[in-house]
Amino acid sequence: MAEGAAGAQTALEYIRSRIETARRRFGPPPEQVELVAVSKTFSAEDIAPFLLAGQRVFGENRVQEAKQKWPALRERFPGLRLHLIGPLQTNKAREAVALFDVIETLDRDKLAGILAEEMARAGKSLPCFIQVNIGGEAQKAGIAPEDAVGFVQRCREVHGLDVVGLMCIPPDGVPPGPYFAQLAGLARQAGLTRLSMGMSGDYETAIAMGATQVRVGSALFGRRPAT
């Protein structure tokens, strides 16, 4: 784990340099690849050095955990953007809309309808990514790849949501490149330009396939605490 602000700065500079190298190596590159620092399971004290080092975009998996950590951090550090990157239960939608700036895990019509209602109630319009179960894995959330383009259309036209991109987590233990390429193809079909794909072990491959944001946790923070 990075120790203090100096260690956080070093870790951020290393990851950002690799992101930029990958972005330029595989052309034509996206104008920018955004680094989402995945802070799930880490405490506010662990996160603060990265905030002091200038990182402002973070990802959390659980609404309740984010609720405990981020309101106080927002008061200390302006300009934060918090992404929900874990599955969202419909009964947590109201809290999610209040806490987060981006929802990355929209994956079913019922959730789309409830999010639309909660955003209208709160006077917000949060950008949303559609999570695609790109490997068709029973244990993972996400809309089936063959249903993704139609679901994007419904979320926009029926529910009025601001769908900006697609997100995926490829299967473990196999080369991720073909799955990232498939997601990029689905995004083109749906008329979307943003792709959230790639984590600590494969973000350079994801950038090669067109990722516009990568979700990096352990490569920044180190091994996650036992839960």
What torsion, rounded to 10 degrees, do the Cα atoms 70, 193, 202, 37 define?
A: -10
Residue 175's contacts (CB-CB under 8 Å, 6 or more residues apart) are: none
| Rounded Cα distance, 198 and 219, in Å | 12
pLDDT in tens, the chain (227 residues): 456 778 999 999 999 999 999 988 876 656 789 999 999 999 999 999 999 999 999 999 999 999 999 999 999 999 999 999 999 999 999 999 999 999 999 999 999 999 999 999 999 999 999 999 999 999 999 999 999 999 999 999 999 999 999 999 999 999 999 999 999 999 999 999 999 999 999 999 999 999 999 999 999 999 876 65
What pLDDT is recorded for position 32?
86
What pLDDT is recorded for position 3?
63
What pLDDT is recorded for position 26?
74
What pLDDT is recorded for position 34?
96
What pLDDT is recorded for position 1?
43
What pLDDT is recorded for position 5?
78
Residue 111's contacts (CB-CB under 8 Å, 6 or more residues apart) are: 88, 90, 93
Angle at 140 between CA 188 and CA 213, to 5 degrees: 45
Residue 198 phi/psi, 5° resolution?
Answer: 105, 130
